[in-house]
Amino acid sequence: MKLPFSKDSSPKAKEPSSSLQTMKILHSESNCIELLSEALFASIQHVPAHQPIVVVCVGTDRSTGDALGPLVGSQLKRLDLNGSGIHLYGTLDNPVHAMNLNDTLTTIYQHYNNPYILAVDACLGQLTSVGCIQLGQGPVKPGAGVNKELPPVGDMHVTGIVNVGGFMEYFVLQNTRLSLVMTMAETIASSIHAALLMKRRWTPIPLGKID
């Protein structure tokens, strides 16, 4: 079985959709959740009702900075009280990290038919961008900031810039402020949850044939 994250010598480029959104916003902006959830919804509203949306939160709770993904996953698990169709991988209790990422992706593609994957991960960036949340199209590349080769994840991604990159990345991630990471995780989780609820609300219900 050929999995979507297998290497392909001649991949075909996909035509970009005008509805797909990209953005970068500081997590402390008063309207951050509103803007991020609207951008997320604009990107996932084209996903057919029969295509499952899977959220994969990448990271580990063994590193403060890298715990952003699992924190988002655990927040989403708590928020999904009324059900919003979330298929979720990666929480504090069951993180998705470098050691099990390949197996997790294999499980997802075996379990779901043509899933649409939203990846969440922490990243490092410029000093002026620390605390910003980024929404982008295409996969995230986990481990790139710490020189690890891991499979790309996602049809779209949300990343949180938790600290400054470019020097001693492992040390920087270990010494990232927990307060910042937790606040960003709450914002990202609330935005994803709101976008998925909007998606569920506005997805047309197929009507049966009337004789």
pTM for the full model? 0.84
Domain annotation covers residue 47: yes
Domain annotation covers residue 36: yes
More confident residue, 161 or 211: 161
Domain annotation covers residue 9: no
Domain annotation covers residue 75: yes
Nearest Cα neighbor of 189 from 106, 133, 125, 146 is 133
Average pLDDT on 101-119 reads: 96
Average pLDDT on 99-113 reads: 95
Domain that holds residue 188: 22-198
Q: Which residues of 65-91 are buried (b: 16+ CB within 10 A; e: fewer)?
A: bbbbbbbbbbbbbebbeeebebbbbbb
Domain annotation covers residue 5: no
d(CA 115, CA 163): 31
Query: Is residue 101 a contact partner of residue 152, using CB atoms and an 8 Å limit?
Result: no
More confident residue, 20 or 136: 136
Nearest Cα neighbor of 196 from 25, 19, 50, 38 is 38
Average pLDDT on 142-168 reads: 85
Domain annotation covers residue 3: no
Number of domains in the chain: 1
Q: How high is the pLDDT of residue 9?
A: 35
Residue 189 in 3-state DSSP? Answer: helix
In tens, the pLDDT along 40-95 reads 999 999 999 889 999 999 999 999 999 999 999 999 999 875 566 679 999 999 99
Q: What is the CATH number of the domain that holds 178?
A: 3.40.50.1450
